[in-house]
Structure 1
Amino acid sequence: MTPGHGDAVEMVADRHSPAPRARRRGGHARLPGTAAGREREPAPWQLVYFGPPPGARRPVIVLLQCEQVEGEQMTAISRGTALTAVPFAVATIAYVGTFLTHYDRLPERIATHFSFDGSPDGFMGRASALWFGGALLVGLGLLFTVLTAATGKRAGTRLNAAIGAGTAAALGYPLVVTVLVNSDIQSAAEAQMPVRHVAALLFGGLLTGALAWWLSGAEPRPAAAPEAPSLALADGEAAAWSRTEVSRVLLLTAAAVTIAGVSTAAFGAWRSGLPLLVVGLVCLAFTGVRVTVDRRGLTIASTLLPRPRLALPLGSIAGAGSVQVNAMGEFGGWGYRIRPNRRGVLLRSGEALSVRTTGGREYVVTVDDSTTAAGLLNGLADRHARERD
């Protein structure tokens, strides 16, 4: 079919599929499967074929590439990423700029750590301090920015941006002040860090985080998981379900951090090794969990330590279902995670049991065979409600 003068033929084709054939009606073309008078939804590729203009021998073909991008989602991602990256960029520029402008006024070794009374108890070479502080800000900035970008438009973007921005302020402020208190002194031992700066960095971190939270705007609530079919249980009938999940990644992480903490405490300063030991024990608590559904409700307990332990009685359960979760994208990591109106015990990404309470909060735990657990939990909760009525 060759269009005549003034006729227009519009062909819309997906870039991954062959171009459809246009049909001609009344001097215009219509795509197969498209009713007359109705416009077909734009596809990623749009081919517009016009008839020859006056005096031209060949038709004019215009090819337009239209990328379908959800504007709101891109806006949410870019806003959260910017609110995380910009504070770290500002902190890095402020620290490096202050250090370079005061470089000749600093002693060869500067005080980098201070005790509670403000006197120095840790020192570092001038050049080493510059590189260490700059690398720390850049590294944490990249980490928080990637975490926020990976979250996308899911629930948790707002919290990630607030924590990242607050961390940038709380870390950048003392680094800049450290340079200033070391300026124009003969020895690093003369440096003093007034206690008021501790209050200032805490207030600055909280204020910056709150501002990032407000600027991020409201985020969409996660869609409720569809309830699993309730398992019918007769009065007095006993039923229980239990399964154990182990995370090798968390186990190796906990072992490495604990060993590092023990080594630091034994051969170095015990104060430096204590935080590593605490982090190692926290990781160890979530390397393995046992999930149990029985007449008491839902119980999630560590397989290695008596605590933490999470218990949801039957009377507080509104419904349960099976979902697919992205640990990093939806919760920002693994272990016990807290999000607005959501709590998660995550050892991996993938299949998980989702439980909604009567108070509107959702609890998610990654476990296999979650559909069976959800069905039994719904059946037990339904029977409990009948008995209570």
Structure 2
Amino acid sequence: MRDHPRKPSETGAEAAPAVWTGRATNKAQWVLAAAGAACTALGIELAVSSNWTSGIAPLLMSVIGCVAAGLLMLFGTLAFVNVAVRVDGDALEVRCGHMGLPRRRILLTHVVGAEFVPRITPRHWGGWGYRWRPEQGTAVVVRRGEGLVLKLGDGRTFTVTVDDAEEGVRFIRERLHLPAADAPAGT
């Protein structure tokens, strides 16, 4: 994670940044994307150069199956190969993949708490990607490791794996005027 530059104020004291950004990347998903591309290429190869004598139906099913499975693997993994999180004074915004889709925006007025979690794994959520579990809430999991959990006013939670999550939680708590996690409740 890059350091977030702080702009000095006119009095010489350092001012807090107005925006916090974080990212997380999963390089292992590129292997799955390559497998999807290979499966799609196999389907195209079958369609172009096949001389199946057993009929058109088996050929058509093989081509459609390979291309469909390959495209699902390719786009499904590329959508969650990275995540970008941006927190400003109004909201937390999460964008997935290179196109920024799916995207989730949570207004800070809907957030009642923020926690740093040092270890989040895809196994806790049932895999990589955009996940929902009734007992846990919603999550964007692109890799195992640290992340942040937002507690929303309606009782739900939103979890995202992101580098430098502890700094992100601190930034959100400052915006919400919540005490630090290690501070006593009365301060």
Give yes or no for TM over 0.5. yes
In 2: Cα distance, 1:323 partner to 1:331 partner? 14
Q: How does 1:95-244 map to 2 (within 5 A)?
A: 239-244=18-23
Measured against aligned partners, the alpha-carbon deviations of 1:20-48 in whole angstroms (never above 9, x if no partner) come to xxxxxxxxxxxxxxxxxxxxxxxxxxxxx
In 1: Cα distance, 2:109 partner to 2:120 partner? 29
Q: CA deviation at 1:244?
A: 1.9
Q: Tell whether the 8 Å contact from 2:24 to 2:143 is kept in structure 1 after alignment.
A: no
Matched, 1:248 2:15: no
Q: Tell whether the 8 Å contact from 1:351 to 1:370 is kept in structure 2 after alignment.
A: yes
Tell me: CA distance 1:309–1:262, structure 2 relative to 1, closer, same or farther (3 Å). Answer: farther
Partner of 2:163: 368
Structure 2 stretches lacking a partner, 5+ long: 1-15, 48-61, 179-187
Q: 2:43 aligns with which of 247, 264, 267?
A: 264
Q: CA deviation at 1:332?
A: 2.0
Partner of 1:357: 152
Q: CA deviation at 1:270?
A: 3.6
Tell me: CA distance 1:256–1:275, structure 2 relative to 1, closer, same or farther (3 Å). Answer: closer
Tell me: CA distance 1:329–1:307, structure 2 relative to 1, closer, same or farther (3 Å). Answer: closer
Letter in 2 for 1:298: L
Q: Tell whether the 8 Å contact from 1:258 to 1:281 is kept in structure 2 after alignment.
A: no
Letter in 1 for 2:171: L
Matched, 1:296 2:115: no
Q: CA deviation at 1:239?
A: 1.4
Tell me: CA distance 1:283–1:320, structure 2 relative to 1, closer, same or farther (3 Å). Answer: same
- Count, aligned residues: 147
Letter in 2 for 1:264: G
Partner of 2:127: 333
In 2: Cα distance, 1:332 partner to 1:252 partner? 19
Q: Tell whether the 8 Å contact from 1:265 to 1:274 is kept in structure 2 after alignment.
A: no
- SS of the residue 1:257 aligns to: helix
Q: CA deviation at 1:250?
A: 1.2
Letter in 2 for 1:369: D
Over the matched positions of the two proteins, sequence identity in percent amounts to: 27
Ranges of 4+ aligned residues in structure 1 off by more than 4 Å: none
Letter in 2 for 1:263: L
Q: Which has the higher helix share?
A: 1
Partner of 1:82: none
Matched, 1:286 2:80: yes
In 1: Cα distance, 2:160 partner to 2:46 partner? 39
Q: Tell whether the 8 Å contact from 1:335 to 1:346 is kept in structure 2 after alignment.
A: yes
Say which is worse superposed, 237-246 or 335-344, in terms of deviation. 237-246
Q: Tell whether the 8 Å contact from 2:39 to 2:69 is kept in structure 1 after alignment.
A: no
Q: Tell whether the 8 Å contact from 2:111 to 2:150 is kept in structure 1 after alignment.
A: yes
- SS of the residue 1:343 aligns to: strand
Tell me: CA distance 1:373–1:263, structure 2 relative to 1, closer, same or farther (3 Å). Answer: same
Structure 1 stretches lacking a partner, 5+ long: 1-236, 384-389
Partner of 1:274: 68
Tell me: CA distance 1:326–1:240, structure 2 relative to 1, closer, same or farther (3 Å). Answer: closer
- SS of the residue 2:28 aligns to: helix
In 1: Cα distance, 2:69 partner to 2:81 partner? 19
In 2: Cα distance, 1:265 partner to 1:339 partner? 37
> TM-score by structure 2 length?
0.70
Q: CA deviation at 1:266?
A: 4.1
Letter in 1 for 2:116: S
Q: CA deviation at 1:348?
A: 1.9
- SS of the residue 2:98 aligns to: coil
- SS of the residue 2:18 aligns to: coil
In 1: Cα distance, 2:100 partner to 2:141 partner? 18
Q: CA deviation at 1:238?
A: 5.7
Q: 2:115 aligns with which of 299, 307, 321?
A: 321
Larger radius of gyration: 1
Q: Tell whether the 8 Å contact from 2:36 to 2:69 is kept in structure 1 after alignment.
A: no
Q: Which has the higher strand share?
A: 2
Partner of 2:183: none
